[in-house]
Amino acid sequence: MVEQDWWQKSTVYQVYPKSFKDTNGSGTGDIKGLTMKLDYLHDLGINIVWLQPVYISPQNDNGYDVADYCRINPEFGTMEDFDELMNELDKRGMVLMLDIVVNHSSTEHAWFKQARQSKVSPYRDYYIWKDPAADGGVPNNWQSKFGGSAWQYDELTGQYFLTLFDKTQADLNWENEQVRKEVVDLLRFWAEKGVKGFRMDVINLISKDQSFPEDDGSVSPGDGRRFYTDGPRVHEFIREMYDQVFGPYHLVTVGEMSSTTLAHCVRYSNPEENELSMTFNFHHLKVDYLNGQKWELMPYDFEELKRLLSEWQIGMNKGGGWNALFFNNHDQPRALSRFTNDTIFRSESAKLLATTLHGLQGTPYVYQGEEIGMPNPVWNDINELRDIESKNMYRILQEQGKKPDEALDIIRERSRDNSRTPMQWDTTVNAGFTSGTPWIKVDERYPEINVQSQLEDIDSIYNHYKKLIALRKELPIFTEGMYERLDECHPQVYAYARINEQETLIVMSNFSDQDVSFSIPDEFWNERMDSKVSELLIGNTMHTPELAQDTPLSPYASYMWIIR
Ligand code: GLC
């Protein structure tokens, strides 16, 4: 068995700085706020902190629109604050993973400002410019992921530039060697400062089909994505970053892979390829998209969720890749509200999701607030929302014929703001997030759902996470065990095993509010259980059941046993 890398045994904590902790009353979280909370994260057992963008930015997409990659946005603090954060992490044996957004820059970036001046600017070719189509319209039918055309017309020079996201996020031209050199420079800048990891934003979109074809929709949605997703030179470009920065500085890297495939993710994350340490994919978080459409609601398909998780467990293992495991992030509604019950069974549900995820092979990511079971907030009206995507879609859905109420119902479920409301620290005003006016509302349930009350409660969701994180560090089976699914299309239960030569880990979760029962298949039971003993490692009910071939499961019950 290959020696496990330290980051395979680690759990990453994702910090959305804008909503984590404000120390100066501005209403926006800051770097000092994160530093202040490091003991909290350390106590949880975290050793890698993923800090989302804190660079200079007009904040049209909350920092994913970068105007200067090597300076800190004053809203978040100063470079001294950043250095202090690094020191304090180091003291606790923790490391920082920075979010790197280089598929695009803000149109406020000096490169773009120069590029737009004239067609002969030395920076022109840093971006992707095209002449209008013959009829004067957009160069092709590619769509922005935030709605509308992906092309923006620039009056001054009479050409269009490409923006796969917001109209102020201009796609960088990775075909230009100079751009790739700039990226390597900025990565080095942060590596030299002691950053130990990078999360690479939508990194599988950087290589575009250079013929920029019209998408006839015959293969996928017809929005152009197949011409820039996992594109022709993407592996080459990533490897270049590996050779120059990731490898030499021994960094842990995770790539955010939009609409990707298993085969590509194997390649991105197999150590022999010298690209990345691991990948995020989103297939399992589209199981409630009607016909694959995010803005069309349907109840989630449980069987499909299990099928996808299993396919990626087996496929990545087989190909020698490594999964980044997650149910939540700043772009997703809270999994607790989405897949389980966030009211009467909130605590059971949050623990069930945690146990189910942390038992899988890969490196788990905890998104702020997940560890205390924060649900989607209550949205009373559209003006409470802040996200550019939600605002665009609220308008577009109405243009498509939805009534304002119907549009709001969809936004309520799908908005990225569901996970962006302030972290709930305690029962004081604004949940202890800020003494000022928060940039986005604090969910009204904070008096009940907050960190303080959970730290004091031995049975809290927080303490459940803490235990899971510790188990992973302790027991090799979490990282090396082979995955095997145990439920055959059970309508309520997801059950799987992780297997190595000496041990078997069993994870069993009832994703419903019904009392159900589950039987471990005979063959598996006879072979693995034999005369061995089992121990309950973690569960979420008052009683602590012995492992049996037939197990009754109360609503949202979830258990993890080890057989030795
Ligand atoms: C990623 C980020 C998201 C951002 C987008 C554009 O998907 O996670 O928040 O809007 O990239 O940078």
pLDDT tens string 81-105:
999 999 999 999 999 999 999 999 9
Q: What's the rounded Cα separation, in Å, for the pair 228 and 411?
A: 27
Say whether 256 is catalytic.
yes
| pLDDT tens digit sequence for 157-178 | 999 999 999 999 999 999 999 9
Out of 65, 99, 201, 230, pick the active-site residue: 201
With CA atoms as reference, report the closest residue to 106 among 60, 152, 151: 60
DSSP state, residue 12: E
Cα of 263 vs centre of ligand 1, distance in Å, is 23
Cα of 142 vs centre of ligand 1, distance in Å, is 18
Cα of 272 vs centre of ligand 1, distance in Å, is 28
Out of 99, 166, 256, 417, pick the active-site residue: 256
Q: What tokens were used for 155?
A: 């009056």
Which backbone phi and psi does 550 adopt, to 5 degrees? -110, 120
Closest atom of ligand 1 to CA, residue 104: 12
Q: What's the rounded Cα separation, in Å, for the pair 359 and 469?
A: 10
| pLDDT tens digit sequence for 130-158 | 999 999 999 999 999 999 999 999 999 99
| pLDDT tens digit sequence for 464-490 | 999 999 999 999 999 999 999 999 899
Strands (E) across 347-440 are located at: 363-367
Ligand 1 first shell, C-beta below 6 A: 61, 64, 101, 165, 201-202, 256, 330-331
Q: What's the rounded Cα separation, in Å, for the pair 11 and 366?
A: 7
Percentage of the chain exceeding pLDDT 70: 99
| pLDDT tens digit sequence for 328-357 | 999 999 999 999 999 999 999 999 999 999
Cα of 44 vs centre of ligand 1, distance in Å, is 27
Q: What's the rounded Cα separation, in Å, for the pair 304 and 310?
A: 10
Q: Which residues contact 82 (CB under 8 A, 6 or more apart)?
A: 31, 54, 72, 193
| pLDDT tens digit sequence for 444-462 | 999 999 999 999 999 999 9
Least confident of 88-102, 119-133, 170-184, 526-540: 526-540
Say whether 75 is catalytic.
no
Closest atom of ligand 1 to CA, residue 146: 10
Percentage of the chain exceeding pLDDT 90: 97
Length of the chain: 564
Contact predicate 128/160, CB 8 Å: no
Topology of the domain covering 110-171: Oligo-1,6-glucosidase; domain 2 (3.90.400)
Q: Are strands 55-56 and 48-51 parallel, antiparallel or unpaired?
A: unpaired
Query: Is residue 26 predicted with pLDDT exceeding 50?
Result: yes
| pLDDT tens digit sequence for 299-310 | 999 999 999 999
Q: What's the rounded Cα separation, in Å, for the pair 362 and 279?
A: 10
Query: Is residue 2 predicted with pLDDT exceeding 80?
Result: no
CA 47 to chain centre: 17
In this predicted structure, what is the pLDDT of residue 3?
Answer: 58
Hey, what amino acid is at 528?
A: R
Domain ranges across the chain: 6-105+176-465, 110-171, 481-563
DSSP-based three-state secondary structure for 209: coil
Confidence of residue 40 (pLDDT cuts 50, 70, 90): very high
Contact predicate 342/379, CB 8 Å: no
Q: Which helix (H) or strand (E) holds 35?
A: helix 31-36
Query: Is residue 1 predicted with pLDDT exceeding 50?
Result: no
Q: What tokens were used for 221?
A: 């949605």
Q: What's the rounded Cα separation, in Å, for the pair 109 and 115?
A: 10
CATH level 2 (architecture), domain 481-563:
Sandwich (2.60)
Q: What's the rounded Cα separation, in Å, for the pair 347 and 352?
A: 9
- Mean pLDDT, the chain, as a whole number? 97
The CATH number given to 6-105+176-465 is 3.20.20.80
Mean pLDDT for the stretch of residues 406-410: 98
What is the pTM assigned to this prediction?
Answer: 0.97
Among 16, 61, 164, 329, which residue has the most ligand 1 atoms within 8 Å of its CB, making it the best to mutate?
61
Closest atom of ligand 1 to CA, residue 64: 12
